[in-house]
Chains A and B, each alone.
Chain A
Amino acid sequence: MIKTEELTKRFGETLAVDRLSFHVNEGEVFGFLGPNGAGKTTTVRMLTSLISPTAGSAVVNGFQVGKEDKNIRRSVGILTETPGMYDNLSAEYNLRIFASLYEVKDIPGQVEKYLRMLGLWDRRFDEAGTFSKGMKQKLAIARALLHEPRILFLDEPTAALDPEAAHLVREFIAELRKAGRTIFLCTHNLDEADRLCDRIGVFKTHLLVIDSPANLRSQVFGRKVVFHLRQAQDGLAKEIMALTFVKDIKVVDNKLIVTLDDPENHNPEIIRVLVAAGADVQFVGELRHSLEDVYLHLVQNSG
């Protein structure tokens, strides 16, 4: 659905996007993470044909960026960083304008469908300016979906929303995901990315890493298993460390934190060693690093 090769954007002397190469598959929710000023919005603007690349190439929905821009704009939906609604006009009229510009055939039908889907039908005649931030954001999402785009670009969809509104927007994105829509999600909200995205690209002018959230965790930190003991005895850590598959071990209070490549196969062996050494194993669990830990590790070590 999206494929970029060495995609680059310069603004004068400033390098905004540096040789970005990646692909997004059909029906995938792709998270695009990066600090402020990393070039996320610039990338979205290039992929939606709002601005042209300085070098490299990109194909979106089978159309070449810079050569088939009108086709790209027709086939993608975009939720910009700020909703950008016409505040003096009603919610319904806002959508009718965009439906017409996107050449939607059944304008009243599509407008009604998305106003109802996003819970705005009862407020359709109210001016968009009277809406809360969350409602405006939902209206902007409806606007991006009116022409049933195959790819949806969402730039910070929950930024500046209160938790309840953010939750509603996230739920709607999850519904779109279930419906098989391809979504390119720029976000600062790592929990949101973790929950919604199939794969994540961490980006800071250039792409640092790209993988599923689970794989990113194990790539960066390895897999860690916590063995909770009634009492950690001296010498237990040495015995565990002697096992060839154990990569690292830490003792924190009565817990042993063991780094492993394949916990599913290695945990039983460790438990046997612990029991044989007279330790009481209370319970065992995998230590999950948050995506935030992964992100910070990558961004802070990117130089």
Chain B
Amino acid sequence: MKMEKIKTVIRKEWAEVFKNRLVLSTIIFLPLLFTALPLIMLSVTGEAGSSDLTSEMPSQFTQLCPAGMSSGECFQVFMVGQMMLLFMISPLIIPVNIAAYSIVGEKTTRSLEPLLATPITTAELLLGKNLAAAVPAVGATWIAFLIYVVGASILVSSPEVMSALLDPMWWLAILLVGPLLAILSVNFSIMVSSRVNDPRVAEQLSAVVILPLLALFFAQLFGIILINRQIVLAIAAGLFVIDIGMVYMAIRLFQRETILTRWK
């Protein structure tokens, strides 16, 4: 495997993608939105002060509320915690736009055949396309999270609340689960993209990958599940295994001959 070829594919993808305003706005707008929402939530719930809001929260969360934290602060941590999952959504959504277009876009512009005629291997090509889609998504998510951390430190005065908001669980989620989700999303999109002929269909089908995370988001919102360090680690371990399988499947399903000969 030659790194120079992988880098060439990445540079080519970025040169193309960043000229596409729709994709560019997705990369910028979504993380900004997902940063703004928890900050707004912090600002709004901050006014709840010390009022008793225990009844508004799931009982298992109330039990986990750190000692010395008022119920209002605990509610604030709970509500912002709901929003933290949004930082998991952006590494899933952003690469879909890039990756779904990556193969099917080459099909529609008829540039895939000359590309496949070069001595590039399938693994080099797909790794390049993987990184080209995953790196901006993960980078944008991390930058957004840093903006959130800075914003939270300005808005929150209580050290207990700040400590709860920056629980290592969230760092783990952002730094580890985020990239794993991005890899999952990219490979799923590439698999879909290899099999369809229309970029819109590729995007729509690829968006299916977000459903499990949305289910988790709503499960936490309705108190069915409470995300903790163990769950995050379990998700990371599960995603790691799934990602290996997805990369393997993406390479196996990328049949050069089928892709070339089944063009419409």
- Collect the chain B residues with CB atoms within 8 Å of residue A51's CB: 256-257, 260-261
Contact A84 B12 (CB under 8 A): no
Q: Closest B-chain residue to A77, C-beta based?
A: B117
Is A248 interfacial (CB 8 A cutoff)?
Answer: no
> Per-residue 0/1 for A37-52: is the Cβ within 8 Å of any B Cβ (1 yes, 0 no)?
0000000010010111
CA distance A52 to B15 in the complex (A): 32
Kindly report which residue of chain B lies nearest to residue A52, judged by CB atoms: B257
Q: Is A70 an interface residue (CB 8 A)?
A: yes
> B111 interface residue, CB < 8 Å from A?
yes
Whether A89 lies near B119 (C-beta < 8 A) is no
The reply to whether B8 and A100 form a contact with Cβ atoms under 8 Å apart is yes
- Having A52-B257, A80-B113, one finds 11 other A-B pairs with CB under 8 Å, namely A11-B261, A73-B118, A80-B114, A84-B109, A84-B113, A84-B114, A85-B109, A88-B19, A98-B118, A100-B4, A100-B5
Q: B112 on the interface (CB 8 Å rule)?
A: yes
Mark each residue of chain A from 75 to 115: 1 if its CB lies under 8 Å from any CB of chain B, else 0. Answer: 01010101111111100010001101111000000000000
Determine whether the beta carbon of B261 is less than 8 Å from that of A73.
no
Q: Are A82 and B110 within 8 A (Cβ)?
A: yes
Contacts of A98 in B (CB 8 A): 114, 118
Bound complex: CA A89 to CA B115 (Å): 15
Is the CB of B121 closer than 8 A to any CB of chain A?
yes
A101 to B119, CA, bound (A): 7
How far apart are B87's CB and chain A's nearest CB, in angstroms?
31
Interface residues as binary, B114-149 with A (CB distance below 8 Å gives 1, 0 otherwise): 111111110000000000000000000000000000
Residue numbers in B under 8 Å from A11 (CB-CB): 261
With both chains docked as a complex, state the minimum distance between the C-beta of B8 and any C-beta of chain A, in angstroms.
4
Task: Quote the shortest CB–CB distance from A78 to chain B (angstroms).
Answer: 5
Q: Count residues of chain B with CB under 8 A from any CB of chain A.
A: 27
Nearest to B16 among chain A residues (CB) is: A88
Residues of chain A contacted by B2 (CB below 8 angstroms)? 103
- Cβ of B117: which chain A residues have Cβ within 8 Å of it? 48, 50, 73, 76, 78, 80
Interface residues of B (CB under 8 A from A): 2, 4-5, 8, 11-12, 15-16, 19-20, 109-121, 256-257, 260-261
Q: How far is the CB of B112 from chain A (nearest CB, A)?
A: 7
A73 vs B115: C-alpha distance in the bound complex, in angstroms? 11
Query: Which A residue sits closest to B113, measured CB to CB?
Result: A80
B262 to chain A minimum Cβ distance, whole angstroms, is: 9
Among B19, B111, B256, find the residue whose CB has the most chain A CB atoms closer than 10 A.
B111
Instruction: State whether the Cβ of A170 lies closer than 8 Å to any Cβ in chain B.
Output: no
Q: Please give, as numbers and ranges, the residues of chain B lying within 8 Å of A73 by CB-CB distance.
A: 117-119
Residue on A nearest B17 in the bound complex, by CB: A88
Whether B19 pairs with A101 at a CB distance below 8 angstroms is: no
Q: Are A93 and B15 in contact (CB under 8 A)?
A: yes
Residues of A within 8 A of B120 (CB): 101
Bound together, the chains give a CA A87 to CA B15 distance in angstroms of: 11
Measured CB to CB, the nearest residue on chain B to A99 is B8
B12 close to A97 (CB less than 8 A): yes
* Sample of 30 A–B contacts (CB below 8 Å): A11-B261, A45-B260, A48-B117, A51-B257, A51-B260, A52-B257, A70-B119, A71-B119, A74-B119, A76-B117, A78-B113, A80-B117, A83-B110, A84-B110, A84-B111, A86-B12, A86-B16, A86-B111, A88-B20, A89-B12, A89-B15, A98-B118, A100-B5, A100-B8, A101-B5, A101-B119, A102-B118, A103-B119, A140-B114, A143-B114
Bound Cα distance from A239 to B28, whole angstroms: 92
Q: Output the least CB separation between A140 and chain B (Å).
A: 7
Name the residue of chain B whose CB is nearest to the CB of A144.
Answer: B114
Contact flags A47-69 to B (C-beta < 8 A → 1, else 0): 01011100000000000000000
- A88–B106 Cα gap in the complex (Å)? 12
Q: What 1/0 flags go to A1-29 for Cβ under 8 Å of B? A: 00000000001000000000000000000
Which residues of A lie under 8 Å from residue B20 when comparing CB positions? 88
How far apart sit A98 and B4, CA to CA, in the bound complex (Å)?
Answer: 12
CB distance from B177 to the nearest CB of A (A): 33
CB of B2 to closest CB in A, whole Å: 8
Among B8, B12, B119, B120, the most chain A Cβ lie within 10 Å of the Cβ of: B119
Among B16, B19, B119, B256, contact of A102 (Cβ-Cβ < 8 Å):
B119
| Chain B residues, CB < 8 A from A70 | 119, 121
**Residues from chain B with Cβ under 8 Å of A48 in the complex:** 117
Cα-based distance from A102 to B120 in the complex (angstroms): 8
Give the shortest distance, in Å, between A206 (CB) and chain B (any CB): 20
Q: Across the interface, which residues of B come within 8 angstroms of A87, CB to CB?
A: 109
Q: Which residues in B have their C-beta under 8 angstroms from that of A71?
A: 119
In the complex, how many angstroms separate the beta carbon of B122 from the nearest chain A beta carbon? 11
- B109 contact set on A, CB distance < 8 A: 84-87
